[in-house]
């Protein structure tokens, strides 16, 4: 029905044209099928109003990849900030974990606070689905909190690892069967070697020669991966 033109009944036409004094081009809201549509008055002929229904604004489809960033708890509201930005970008889930170094231990109400950020950011960017929010006690638990099929990537600064951009380009090729990716970034003090060893297998990746802050790296990494999947 959206996208089409419809003629209103004589009663509705009278109300629209005589009572509301609508002119061609005026924006309207019409109800039908139990739903509301945006519409505009196209013309009136012999007392009958014809309106054009505009396509319903559908929420944006989810990205081609289910992306699960795992980010450390950071001080100064920066965890909230990351959750907001990652939600807007369209990630499938966000995992906040307690890092071995530089730990900002989450308070009792942290999960609820973050959930509120998820909700308001989802509304703001008009996404229909809320990203999942997971609180994990360790990096290993964080990587394990993503779907079992997810490709696991850990971003390690100053490493000689392959660039994340190259890793993402390979994963995003149509032949590559990885519909889900979980990536982890570290705290300001970096990962603890034992923390990494406890994780099991993962692909290490680098974000290039510049050292990004702990609240910058997850944003860049998410943008790079989603871009590789054609999202931006």
CB neighbours of 132 closer than 8 A, spacing ≥ 6? Answer: 92, 93, 94
Q: Considering the complex, what minimum distance in angstroms separates the CB of residue 34 from a second copy?
A: 26
Q: Considering the complex, what minimum distance in angstroms separates the CB of residue 226 from a second copy?
A: 8
Considering beta carbons, is residue 12 or 231 the nearer one to a second copy? 231
Considering beta carbons, is residue 76 or 148 the nearer one to a second copy? 76
Considering beta carbons, is residue 24 or 230 the nearer one to a second copy? 230
> Where does this chain bind a second copy (CB under 8 A)?
60-61, 84-85, 88-90, 124-127, 163-165, 207-213, 216, 219-221, 223-224, 227-228, 230-232
Q: Considering the complex, what minimum distance in angstroms separates the CB of residue 9 from a second copy?
A: 33
Considering beta carbons, is residue 51 or 89 the nearer one to a second copy? 89
Q: Considering the complex, what minimum distance in angstroms separates the CB of residue 102 from a second copy?
A: 15
- Dihedral pair phi/psi, residue 67, rounded to 5°: -100, 130
């Amino acid at each position: 029905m959206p996208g089409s033109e419809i003629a209103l009944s004589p009663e509705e036409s009278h109300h629209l044209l005589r009572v509301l004094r609508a002119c061609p081009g005026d924006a309207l809201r019409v109800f039908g099928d139990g739903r509301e549509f945006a519409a505009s008055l196209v013309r009136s002929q012999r007392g009958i109003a014809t309106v054009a229904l505009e396509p319903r604004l559908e929420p944006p489809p989810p990205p081609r990849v289910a992306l699960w960033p795992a980010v450390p708890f950071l001080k100064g509201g920066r965890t909230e900030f990351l959750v907001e930005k990652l939600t807007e970008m369209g990630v499938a889930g966000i995992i906040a974990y307690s890092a071995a170094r530089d730990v900002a231990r989450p308070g009792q109400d942290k999960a609820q606070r973050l959930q509120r950020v998820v909700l308001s950011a989802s509304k703001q960017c008009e996404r229909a689905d809320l990203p999942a929010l997971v609180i994990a006690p360790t990096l290993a638990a964080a990587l394990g909190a993503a779907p079992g099929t997810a490709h696991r990537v850990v971003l390690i600064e100053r490493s000689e690892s392959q660039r994340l951009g190259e890793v993402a380009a390979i994963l995003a090729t149509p032949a590559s069967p990885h519909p889900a990716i979980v990536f982890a970034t570290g705290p300001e003090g970096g990962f603890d070697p034992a923390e990494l060893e406890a994780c099991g297998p993962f692909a290490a990746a680098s974000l290039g020669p510049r050292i990004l802050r702990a609240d910058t790296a997850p944003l860049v990494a998410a943008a790079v991966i989603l871009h590789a999947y054609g999202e931006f």
